């Protein structure tokens, strides 16, 4: 395709995209303002915007956000430290890798959120159950990535370092760690995202506080406009956190 034709296509695609998004917004507006869809089902977008401004200005979101982020931080701290440690220990032996890796991958393949009622039974409705479940679920991508990172370092690097007299610690610090780091960082990023999703999920399903709970609360109170505002807020927070961790991962990979 000629450069001019492809440029034209790109502009056209962009127009179609914007038209699509604009069309959806327009439909939304018309549905509530002109076509009489109940505001309890679909709130007027203008009202949603007003509610969002109000939520942000009044700082009403702060306690819920703080709870959610605290749960996330603690859960991720637990899963990342235990995941990397256990992953490193397993990676030291090919036999251990062959025994445990399929086991861990197998457990991770089922929706572990299924065990939420058990965690609620055990830890109650408070932050502890969210942290525990979040740590459990996010443990798996971290440990699997760590095993993959340390366990599959190209043999030739280990051989070369050993031939030059590297000690065990030198081998770890200057060969294994830098070789494994990109993979581990990816695993940590995935663990972080998964922890966030599981915490939002458990807050939605069984909780007394936090962003997920706030959305449910507003739904039950039929305050649909404000609920939409909180949903937008939560999605924005998730997107921001995703962006930040992706940046950190990319930096770590140099």
Helix H or strand E encompassing 225:
helix 224-252
Considering only 7, 10, 53, 66, the residue that binds another protein (CB under 8 A) is 10
- Residues 126 to 155: which contact another protein by CB under 8 A? 155
Q: Nearest 10 degrees: CA dihedral of 153, 75, 68, 203? A: 110
Residue 175 near another protein by CB under 8 A: yes
The DSSP code for 114 is G
Residue 22 near another protein by CB under 8 A: no
Q: Nearest 10 degrees: CA dihedral of 66, 69, 72, 76? A: -120
Residue 240 near another protein by CB under 8 A: no
Residue 227 near another protein by CB under 8 A: yes
Residue 103 near another protein by CB under 8 A: yes
Residues 6+ apart with CB under 8 A from 162: 171
Residue 63 near another protein by CB under 8 A: no
Half-sphere exposure for 64 (CA within 13 Å, toward CB): 24
Considering only 143, 183, 196, 225, the residue that binds another protein (CB under 8 A) is 196
Is the backbone of residue 44 left (phi > 0), alpha (psi -120 to 50) or beta? Answer: beta
Residue 5 near another protein by CB under 8 A: no
CB of 77 to another protein, least distance (A): 21
Residue 160 near another protein by CB under 8 A: yes
CB 209 within 8 Å of CB 67: yes
CB 163 within 8 Å of CB 157: no
Binding site for another protein (CB under 8 A): 9-10, 12-13, 16-17, 20-21, 41, 95, 98-100, 102-103, 106, 109-111, 113-118, 120-122, 155-167, 170, 174-175, 178-179, 181, 196-197, 200-201, 204-206, 211-212, 215-216, 219, 224, 227, 231, 234-235, 238-239, 242, 254
């Amino acid at each position: 395709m000629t450069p001019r034709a492809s440029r034209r296509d790109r502009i056209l695609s962009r127009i179609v995209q914007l038209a699509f998004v604009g069309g959806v917004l327009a439909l939304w507006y018309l549905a509530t303002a002109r076509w009489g869809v109940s505001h309890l089902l679909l709130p007027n977008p203008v009202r949603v915007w007003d509610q969002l401004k109000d939520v942000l200005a009044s700082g009403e979101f702060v306690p819920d956000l703080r709870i959610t982020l605290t749960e996330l931080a603690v859960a991720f701290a637990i899963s990342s430290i235990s995941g990397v440690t256990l992953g490193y220990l397993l990676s030291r032996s090919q036999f251990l890798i062959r025994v445990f890796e399929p086991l861990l991958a197998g457990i991770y393949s089922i929706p572990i959120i299924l065990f939420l009622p058990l965690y609620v039974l055990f830890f109650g409705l408070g932050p502890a159950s969210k942290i525990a479940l979040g740590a459990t679920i996010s443990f798996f991508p971290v440990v699997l990535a760590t095993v993959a990172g340390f366990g599959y370092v190209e043999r030739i690097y280990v051989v070369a370092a050993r031939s030059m007299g590297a000690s065990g610690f030198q081998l770890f610090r200057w060969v294994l760690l830098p070789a494994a780091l990109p993979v581990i960082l990816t695993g940590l990023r995935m663990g972080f995202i998964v922890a966030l999703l599981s915490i939002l999920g458990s807050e939605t399903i069984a909780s007394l506080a936090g962003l997920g709970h706030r959305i449910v609360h507003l739904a039950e109170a039929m305050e649909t406009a404000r609920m939409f505002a909180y949903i937008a807020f939560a999605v924005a927070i998730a997107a921001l956190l995703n962006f930040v961790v992706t940046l950190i991962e990319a930096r770590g990979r140099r």
